A and B are shown apart, each in its own frame.
Chain A
Amino acid sequence: MTTPTGTEDGRMATVITVGAAAGAYMDTVVVLEWRVAPGDAVRAGQVVAVVETAKAATEVEAPRDGVLSAILAEVGAEIAIASPLGLIGDDADATLATAIQPAEGATPTAPATPDGTARRADAPRSTSGEAWTDRIIASPAARRHAETVGLDLQAVVGTGPGGRIKVRDVTAALRGRDEVLSELAPDPLPEFVPAAVTEAAHPLAVTRSGPDTGTPILLLHGFAGDVTAWHAIERRLARTHPVVRLDLPCHGRSPRQRFRSFRDFIRPVLDTVDALKAGPMHVVGHSLGGAVALTLAERRPNLVRSLALLSPVGLGTEIDNHVLEGLCRAARPESLTPWLRRLVVDPACISDAYARAAMVAREDPDLRASQRALAASLFPDGTQSINVTPLLRRVTMPIRLVWGRADELVPWRHALAAPGRVALHLLPAVGHLPHLEVPDTVTQIIRDMIVCAGSGNRMADRGGVP
């Protein structure tokens, strides 16, 4: 069953389909094998592909002489029997864009309903300029639901007819996240108060938890945060690794200072890390802490074994000024909560208890004033004045970028500035606080990174000192 379709310049391309070979009772087939490759010349009747039908492997023949110009269903793909397997053109240039779906009369294969109407979902889909594989088939209600909760449909597996995404699929995609959130919800307030082992001897406040031995994990929070920001993943990581949390300058329990530049700002961090004498560490930095972590890795390469940057600043130019200002102004949990919730997709993950804990240090007007000054210096007029992108090329440890696709403060597209060596994790339906929104996922990414950084002799490769 084939249909020639006109191309823009008048050439004809022909669609290869399984057609009647599939049998009357089949809806779909699985592609087992392609016997020719794109660009190969084919003869009419030549077997070009093998598909699996209900009972047997069935050979699919070329409908005419020509050149296989495209494979539209790869090996392993399950497709409706009316869907095109590939394209035959007069030359290798024929494309899907110029050959449209099987035309009228070519697809009498969809089963009829009792009232005689054809099943729509099984009918071939119009390409209308989009690649077949990229088009998302979702019900209107599913689209609206996903939009409401900030979920990207690209990440949702459809279980409706023809793979259509239905509301239940969006709900299922959200469920994993909700389970994590419900685990977080019952936490009593004291969970958020820094553990007793806070050391004031260093230039910055240091909080330790977890076992005494092993390679430590250093956590660097973002702007306007403090040690409490990590509570969700700290509990997970501390089961296996020593966890060290710093309060950045002007944050939490660290001294309030005024800085003229990011260079000044980073100085106490370097001094504190030096003073820890903890040896090599895995470093995780969020937002502003991400820029700090990357700078630390560049200045102290021997102390940073691997680097995870969660929604970091310093890789692009824009940043949402209103949210920054709102966070700086907030003097009570009631005024802080709405701004924190602007940072996340599901507001439920900012519990009242969390907001109260995050507000403890912020009750100090001095801290708020110094943070306002810091914001004016680092992010003037909604612009990031820091640019740490070049540092990504200068460091050699494993690096993972973790970004929520729904991050409205720092757009995930800034990640595209990273060199190809850097791994990128794009998290659907996650905002600017992935470690709070999807702590299990972020923990897993960090653990994978640690495993990855633990093998091989990387330092020797670059001629450095272990």
Chain B
Amino acid sequence: MAIMRYAEALNAALREAMTADPSVFLFGEDVADYGGVFKVSRGLREAFGDRVRDTPISEQTLAAMAVSASMTGLRPVLEIMYADFMPLTLDALVNQASVYGYVWGDEITLPFVIRTQGGGGLGTGAQHAKSLDSFVAHIPGLKVVAPVTPADAKGLLLAAIQDPHPVIVLEHKRLYNTRAEVPDDQGPVPLGRARVARDGSDVSLIATSRMVVEAEAAADRLAESGISAEVLDLRTLRPLDVEAIVRSVAKTRHAVVINEDWGFCGYAAELSATIMEHAFDDLDAPVERVATRDMPIPFAESLETAVIPDADVITAAALRALA
């Protein structure tokens, strides 16, 4: 058992996957010589040579390359530097990757991975701080994961690379330097299984990505008032672990759904609707939705803090649900 940074855990997964399977290769902007802007691919160029390649700045082309390479039997892992640039990849995802399996039946599989990172809180401004989770989670045929802990970062990336279908890995820029224990034998984490980050009985805080960290802080505050909050880390955004959500809501009867994407038509709305569809009679209060305000992410720290949800906002939402 070793203490690892989140970025190191991702690096370990890439190293392990590339060692085990020669068809795995990495490409993206500054991933090779520079080791990735967040240093996730540090040292891999030295270890694996041409299997780690720098590319020009052209996300639309890169995504199409990932689709095409996977069709030939390779397992490409593409890094898109910021989730804000994911819209440039959408044609390859919506019109190619997600439909080829359907159009050609079982004749082809598309075992590629796109890693990207989103989220705010580091003063990166309106074009480098968004979480566009719903853009990719919306598309049938894609799988989407969002690890929070270093152990899950390694486990979910390993599972994503091994999966025969396209998987989008949503990392978070504020998680790269977080440290936690990662078991030496940490293997793939099954896709589609949520994790109870904290057991509780009064209200369910159902969160994704770094919002899980804020939800845990909110749970600490609620505990000071004698409120027992359960924190559910979804881990996989698609396919959704509906059973885990229903189990938690049936227990607590109160739900707060939390996602760092925008609220309107956002991923949190999907969670809210899912609860309504599957657990309506368990609800003792309307589902509370916590999401980023419907506006560009401000550069100024004070404004950014006001726009992106935090433990305060989650705590307030939980108290409203319990009112």
* Chain A residues proximal to chain B, CB less than 8 Å: 113-117, 119-121, 139-144, 160-161, 164, 166-167
Nearest CB of chain A from residue B307's CB, rounded to whole Å: 10
* Chain B residues proximal to chain A, CB less than 8 Å: 253, 263, 280-286, 288-294, 309, 312-313, 316-317, 320, 323
Quick check: B286 and A120 within 8 Å, CB to CB? yes
Quick check: A167 and B284 within 8 Å, CB to CB? yes
Quick check: B309 and A167 within 8 Å, CB to CB? no
Nearest CB of chain A from residue B104's CB, rounded to whole Å: 42
The 3 A-B pairs of least Cβ separation, nearest first, read: A141-B284, A139-B284, A114-B313
Quick check: A160 and B289 within 8 Å, CB to CB? no
Cβ contact of B281, chosen from A116, A117, A141, cutoff 8 A: A141
Nearest CB of chain A from residue B203's CB, rounded to whole Å: 13
Quick check: A115 and B291 within 8 Å, CB to CB? yes
Complex Cα spacing A140 to B250, Å: 12
Quick check: A116 and B323 within 8 Å, CB to CB? no
Complex Cα spacing A175 to B155, Å: 49
Q: A115-B313, A116-B263, A117-B263 are in contact. Are A140 and B293 (CB under 8 A)?
A: no
Q: A114-B317, A119-B320, A140-B282 are in contact. List 6 more A-B contacts (CB 8 A).
A: A115-B293, A116-B294, A117-B263, A141-B281, A167-B253, A167-B284
Quick check: A140 and B281 within 8 Å, CB to CB? yes
Quick check: B290 and A141 within 8 Å, CB to CB? no
Chain B interface, >50% SS class: mixed
Q: A115-B291, A161-B323 are in contact. Are A139 and B313 (CB under 8 A)?
A: no
Complex Cα spacing A450 to B293, Å: 65
Quick check: A160 and B285 within 8 Å, CB to CB? yes
Complex Cα spacing A140 to B286, Å: 9
Sample of 6 A–B contacts (CB below 8 Å): A113-B288, A113-B317, A115-B290, A116-B263, A121-B286, A166-B284
Quick check: B323 and A160 within 8 Å, CB to CB? yes
Chain A, residue nearest B280 (CB): A140
Chain A, residue nearest B293 (CB): A116
Contacts of A141 in B (CB 8 A): 253, 281-284
Complex Cα spacing A144 to B282, Å: 8
Chain B, residue nearest A138 (CB): B284
Chain B, residue nearest A160 (CB): B323
Chain B, residue nearest A139 (CB): B284
Contacts of B317 in A (CB 8 A): 113-115
Chain B, residue nearest A142 (CB): B284
Contacts of A164 in B (CB 8 A): 285
Quick check: A115 and B286 within 8 Å, CB to CB? no
Q: A160-B323, A161-B323 are in contact. Are A115 and B284 (CB under 8 A)?
A: no
Q: A114-B313, A115-B309, A117-B263 are in contact. Are A166 and B281 (CB under 8 A)?
A: no
Nearest CB of chain B from residue A255's CB, rounded to whole Å: 54
Contacts of B280 in A (CB 8 A): 140
Nearest CB of chain B from residue A143's CB, rounded to whole Å: 8
Quick check: B283 and A139 within 8 Å, CB to CB? yes
Complex Cα spacing A144 to B281, Å: 7
Nearest CB of chain B from residue A174's CB, rounded to whole Å: 15
Contacts of A144 in B (CB 8 A): 281
Nearest CB of chain B from residue A363's CB, rounded to whole Å: 45
Complex Cα spacing A327 to B320, Å: 50
Complex Cα spacing A316 to B285, Å: 41
Q: Which of A114, A144, A166, A167 has the most CB atoms of chain B within a 10 A radius of its CB?
A: A114
Cβ contact of B285, chosen from A115, A139, A143, cutoff 8 A: A139
Nearest CB of chain B from residue A120's CB, rounded to whole Å: 5
Complex Cα spacing A143 to B283, Å: 10
Complex Cα spacing A141 to B292, Å: 29
Complex Cα spacing A331 to B68, Å: 81
Chain B, residue nearest A144 (CB): B281
Nearest CB of chain B from residue A138's CB, rounded to whole Å: 9
Complex Cα spacing A167 to B263, Å: 29
Complex Cα spacing A114 to B258, Å: 13
Complex Cα spacing A117 to B316, Å: 13
Chain B, residue nearest A161 (CB): B323
Nearest CB of chain B from residue A121's CB, rounded to whole Å: 7
Cβ contact of A117, chosen from B282, B289, B292, B309, cutoff 8 A: B289
Nearest CB of chain A from residue B279's CB, rounded to whole Å: 9
Contacts of A117 in B (CB 8 A): 263, 289
Complex Cα spacing A114 to B316, Å: 8
Complex Cα spacing A117 to B285, Å: 15
Contacts of B281 in A (CB 8 A): 140-141, 143-144
Contacts of B288 in A (CB 8 A): 113
Complex Cα spacing A143 to B320, Å: 20
Chain A, residue nearest B295 (CB): A116
Chain B, residue nearest A169 (CB): B284
Nearest CB of chain A from residue B127's CB, rounded to whole Å: 22
Chain B, residue nearest A168 (CB): B284
Complex Cα spacing A447 to B312, Å: 54
Contacts of B282 in A (CB 8 A): 140-141
Complex Cα spacing A238 to B294, Å: 70
Chain A, residue nearest B316 (CB): A114
Contacts of A120 in B (CB 8 A): 286
Nearest CB of chain A from residue B221's CB, rounded to whole Å: 15
Contacts of B290 in A (CB 8 A): 114-115
Q: Which of B281, B309, B312, B313 has the most CB atoms of chain A within a 10 A radius of its CB?
A: B281
Nearest CB of chain A from residue B245's CB, rounded to whole Å: 16
